[in-house]
Chains A and B, each alone.
Chain A
Amino acid sequence: DTAVSQTPKYLVTQMGNDKSIKCEQNLGHDTMYWYKQDSKKFLKIMFSYNNKELIINETVPNRFSPKSPDKAHLNLHINSLELGDSAVYFCASSQAGDAEAFFGQGTRLTVV
């Protein structure tokens, strides 16, 4: 069983469109995250959710909105996509406290 799963794996879309990336974890973790990995492999935190509450929201455009219907899911919705949004987006989860994070397979978003 995949611990942290994301869909889709690849997403190609035009500028201005709205898209969502889904993430589910079956580890029973309390905290979920979204990271953006740019073309230089740099990983930047976008959001984290703890028990359905947003606890950290870095300086990302408000076109990005996380949605968590329950503790096991943290979806990422993006409005009005721009070329600069092209990247690999990783979902991750961890247990409360200082446990390690488990990562999903990533979603490669290409905006054309």
Chain B
Amino acid sequence: AQSVSQHNHHVILSEAASLELGCNYSYGGTVNLFWYVQYPGQHLQLLLKYFSGDPLVKGIKGFEAEFIKSKFSFNLRKPSVQWSDTAEYFCAVKNYGQNFVFGPGTRLSVLP
């Protein structure tokens, strides 16, 4: 069965700091990869996705992620965070015909 791990449970940064959130998955076949964000009290929204092609994927709000197949990783990055980026971030994987499997989430707190 697929599983997804996220390296950090809670990350605290000051505004303008750079962000990298780790994500690793266990499935060895072809997968599609996603990062979702959940702002406080809200639903999950898609930040970015990787299906194929360029392993460096750009998403909304200045986020990007890099797929490294050899490391089974899909880390999320942002060069300069803002207070409004405070949220829960979820990495997810899906292979054809299967469910989305979500990681446990990483809470990001950005201090003004």
Contacts and interface: CB of A to CB of B under 8 A. Distances in A.
Contacts of A90: 43-44
A41 B107 contact: yes
B100 interface: yes
Contacts, number: 48
- Tell me if B's interface is mostly helix, strand, loop or mixed: strand
A103 to B, nearest CB: 4
B99 A48 contact: yes
A42 B6 CA distance: 12
A46 B101 CA distance: 11
B contact residues, range: 20 to 34
A41 B88 contact: yes
A105 B42 contact: yes
Interface residues of A, number: 21
Interface stretch (B19-27, B45-53, B60-68, B72-80): B45-53
Interface in A36-69: 40-43, 45, 48, 56
A100 B99 contact: no
B67 to A, nearest CB: 14
Interface of A: 33, 35, 40-43, 45, 48, 56, 90, 92, 94, 97-98, 100-106
Given A92-B100, A103-B36, A103-B44, 16 more contacts: A41-B88, A41-B105, A42-B102, A43-B102, A90-B43, A97-B96, A98-B32, A98-B94, A98-B95, A98-B96, A100-B34, A101-B100, A102-B46, A103-B45, A105-B42, A105-B43
